[in-house]
Amino acid sequence: MNPARAADGHSANGDFVLLATGLRRSYGGRDVVRIDEIGVRAGEVLAILGPNGAGKTTLFRLLLLLEKPDAGTIQLGGQITRPGDAAARGRVAGVFQRPYLFSGSVRHNLNYGLKALRLPQAERSRRLEAAIQELELGGLSDRAVGALSGGEAQRVALARALVLEPDVLLLDEPTANLDVTIQRRFREDLSRVARAHARSVILITHDPSDAFALADRVAVLHDGHIVQVAAPHDLVLDPATPFIAAFTGAELLLDGAVEEVDADGLARIKLASGAMIWVSPADALNRGTRVHVSYRPEDVVLSSTSTQFQASPRNVFTMRVGAVAPAGGLVRVGLEGPARLAAIVTRSSAQELGLKPGAEINAHLKAAALRAFVAGP
Amino acid sequence: MDLILDALKQAFTILMTGQAYVVDVLLLSIRVSGSAIVLGVLLGMPAGIAAGMLRFPGRRVLIALIHTGFALPPVVVGLFVYMLLSRSGPVGSLGLLFTPAAMILAQSVLAAPYVAGITLAAVQAVPADVRLQALALGAGRWRAVWAHVREARLGLMAAIVAGFGAVISEVGAVMMVGGNILGETRVMTTAIVLETRRGNFATALALGLILLFFAFAANLALTHLQQRERGR
């Protein structure tokens, strides 16, 4: 993510290329999409992040003008636009989760939308060659689509939408059916072309790594609602709900109740086990408020029990190591004690600390890395 | 056994020498069934495409009719067309009974449900996402429908080949409404029936071989297209 661009995006006011307001869509009496406002600004990559069943694909179809909402409007460049509007054709282009490539050659596919938009031959060739260059499809352009790998097919689908030079490019789970190395390549391709042409992109995904790697802003979709819109960094630091915290990789501690809020704004929370833990920020917390506390396993600092702490350190717990499981290049360590915790450490620190089931270890949770959510009634 | 071997030998001689009688019968067969399949496609293909892709009232009834048409006995079609065209029938004044036109009419009625049914299956086998994908790339509604039909094109070719195969090998309807008149309405199937009854097994067999060859060539061409399409 480019922080400068993100900052621009935030300061810009109302310059939405595509803006949906009051969007409602229900099937069989159940609201699938219920969004007050969501929009993408010029040159911005907006990720819409949500779990399966959150209404992502319906939202994709609504924003792509493939489906009529029950209520609400979609504006394109300030103009209200509806499915089937001839003027909107090609201004929003979509890449599907499983892109359907029309049978024939790669070139035929790249040409499809250009022909549909009735662009002159010279312009079609120019854009086609540019896209072939940009996405390195040179060797593939005359190949039949049946002979493409999954990653190649997805790149063709991306190129086929990009040649239209749409105002907004929409992608629905573009990496969901790709294996890990191909995913990385696709993300790089997408990021490069989106930045190079300052494209407005809406990326719909269930995968936080897609959203965090590519987006300037992330909108979290849960049960058809947008529950938070924030820059990726802010979403991790300051998730609005326990659901968002968990969905973006945080873990939930046991529930507790606020004991006191000190002069610095730190809140002391008594967990169900009786252990005390300090949490910040804690603006909306009062004594007695029941809370859920979340933390991220990568923020848990482990140290040997022989380590001497200055003064009386907060949030240091002596714990017993439970399961030790390799997680990729890292190690995930289960900890038992006043609360059940998980920590993620590198292989080498796991070795240095002698992390074996049954060993004793100090776990330090920085108050700033903890977040307390007011528990629901 | 001798009967069969002799008949085979003579049949090949007839084929090699291009006997005028056989050639005439063959050409009329192609003309009648060729015209019938053209009409059948004009009628059946739009019906199959509509039933397979669009939502409209009466769609289920149309699909049921198409599938009933698959089991339509040629003699029953022959009967209806006969009654329609006979002198006292509704359009008897046109004097079409016992002409190639009557045979074409009967065979196109037989071909249309075949073509429609296979077309229906072919367009339904294409994921509906094709149309959404086309719309998502700037296509209008009809261009998107066309993209869908184009994806089904192998199935549509199969519909034409199967329809043609069904009518060119059919005997009941052409016999009834054509009358098997030499030089006017005698086609391969009716000639085979006649020559077999007369004991001219060699001629019957020669005609039968031509029919078989047609079926084989048509299917070979279709298979070739399908394989090329897959391999590309």
The ipTM, to two decimals, is: 0.79
CA A336 to chain B, closest CA, distance in angstroms equals 50
Q: Is B136 in contact with A102 (Cβ distance < 8 A)?
A: no
**Does the CB of A305 have a partner CB in chain B at under 8 Å?**
no
When pLDDT is cut at 50, 70 and 90, the band that residue A117 belongs to is very high
When pLDDT is cut at 50, 70 and 90, the band that residue B124 belongs to is very high
Q: Is B136 in contact with A98 (Cβ distance < 8 A)?
A: no
**pLDDT value of position A14:** 59
As a whole number, mean pLDDT of residues A193-215 equals 89
**pLDDT value of position A309:** 65
Residue with the larger pLDDT of the pair B61 and A254 = B61
* Count of residues in chain A: 377
The backbone region for A257, taken as left when phi is positive above 0, alpha when psi lies in -120 to 50, beta otherwise, is: beta
**pLDDT value of position B74:** 94
- Residue A298 has a CB neighbour count (10 Å cut-off) of 15
What percent of chain B shows pLDDT beyond 90? 66
Interface test with A, best of B129, B130, B133, B141 (most A CBs within 10 A): B133
CA A87 to chain B, closest CA, distance in angstroms equals 10
As a whole number, mean pLDDT of residues A149-155 equals 90
**pLDDT value of position A225:** 94
**pLDDT value of position B35:** 97
Interface test with B, best of A57, A102, A115 (most B CBs within 10 A): A102
Residue with the larger pLDDT of the pair B86 and B215 = B86
When pLDDT is cut at 50, 70 and 90, the band that residue B128 belongs to is confident
**pLDDT value of position A7:** 39
**Does the CB of B125 have a partner CB in chain A at under 8 Å?**
no
Closest residue in A to B143 (Cα) is: A116
- Residue A174 has a CB neighbour count (10 Å cut-off) of 26
Find, among A60, A146, A80, the residue nearest to A109 by Cα. Answer: A146
**pLDDT value of position B232:** 46
**pLDDT value of position A8:** 39
Residues whose CB is less than 8 angstroms from the CB of residue A133 and which lie 6 or more positions away in sequence, other chains included: none
Distance between CA atoms of B28 and B183, rounded to whole angstroms?
A: 9
**pLDDT value of position A311:** 57
Find, among A253, A248, A245, A244, the residue nearest to A335 by Cα. Answer: A253
Per-residue pLDDT tens digits for B30-65:
999 999 999 999 999 999 999 999 889 999 999 999
Residues whose CB is less than 8 angstroms from the CB of residue A30 and which lie 6 or more positions away in sequence, other chains included: none
Q: Are A35 and A42 in contact (CB under 8 A)?
A: no
Q: Which residue has the tokens 């047609």?
A: B214
As a whole number, mean pLDDT of residues B20-25 equals 90
As a whole number, mean pLDDT of residues A228-243 equals 89
When pLDDT is cut at 50, 70 and 90, the band that residue A292 belongs to is confident
When pLDDT is cut at 50, 70 and 90, the band that residue B97 belongs to is very high
**Does the CB of A327 have a partner CB in chain B at under 8 Å?**
no
When pLDDT is cut at 50, 70 and 90, the band that residue A312 belongs to is low
Please name the member of B129, B229, B231 whose beta carbon is closest to the beta carbon of A103: B229
What percent of chain A shows pLDDT beyond 90? 44
> Residue B4: pLDDT above 90?
no
Structure tokens at A163: 């040649």
Element holding A49 (H helix, E strand): strand A45-49
When pLDDT is cut at 50, 70 and 90, the band that residue A5 belongs to is very low
> Residue A11: pLDDT above 50?
no
Q: Are A89 and A285 in contact (CB under 8 A)?
A: no
Q: Is B132 in contact with A103 (Cβ distance < 8 A)?
A: no
Closest residue in B to A104 (Cα) is: B232
Please name the member of B137, B140, B232 whose beta carbon is closest to the beta carbon of A112: B137
Distance between CA atoms of B169 and B28, rounded to whole angstroms?
A: 13
Residues of B in contact with A147 (CB under 8 A): 232
Residue with the larger pLDDT of the pair A309 and A95 = A95
> Residue A369: pLDDT above 90?
no
Residue with the larger pLDDT of the pair A374 and A67 = A67
Q: Are A74 and A235 in contact (CB under 8 A)?
A: no
Closest residue in A to B130 (Cα) is: A100
> Residue A151: pLDDT above 60?
yes
**pLDDT value of position A252:** 78
Q: Are A13 and A42 in contact (CB under 8 A)?
A: no
When pLDDT is cut at 50, 70 and 90, the band that residue A298 belongs to is confident
Please name the member of B130, B137, B231 whose beta carbon is closest to the beta carbon of A93: B137
When pLDDT is cut at 50, 70 and 90, the band that residue A10 belongs to is very low
Closest residue in B to A171 (Cα) is: B136
Closest residue in B to A110 (Cα) is: B137
Interface test with A, best of B126, B135, B137 (most A CBs within 10 A): B137
Q: Are A111 and A60 in contact (CB under 8 A)?
A: no
Find, among A245, A306, A317, the residue nearest to A275 by Cα. Answer: A317
**Does the CB of A233 have a partner CB in chain B at under 8 Å?**
no
**pLDDT value of position A198:** 79
Strands laid side by side in the A71-76 sheet:
A30-41, A16-27, A71-76, A79-81
Q: Which residue has the tokens 């409209």?
A: B56
> Residue B25: pLDDT above 80?
yes
Closest residue in B to A116 (Cα) is: B139
Distance between CA atoms of A34 and B14, rounded to whole angstroms?
A: 78
What percent of chain B shows pLDDT beyond 70? 98
**pLDDT value of position A13:** 41
CA A127 to chain B, closest CA, distance in angstroms equals 15
β pairing state of A330-336 and A316-327? antiparallel
The overall average pLDDT reported for chain B is 91
**Does the CB of A351 have a partner CB in chain B at under 8 Å?**
no
> Residue A283: pLDDT above 80?
no
Least confident stretch, A260-269, A319-328, B39-48, B145-154: A260-269
As a whole number, mean pLDDT of residues B186-202 equals 93
> Residue A157: pLDDT above 90?
yes
Residues of A in contact with B127 (CB under 8 A): 100
Give whole-number Cα distances, A54 to A46, A81, A291, B50, B69, in Å. Answer: 17, 24, 25, 34, 46
Per-residue pLDDT tens digits for A180-192:
888 888 888 888 8
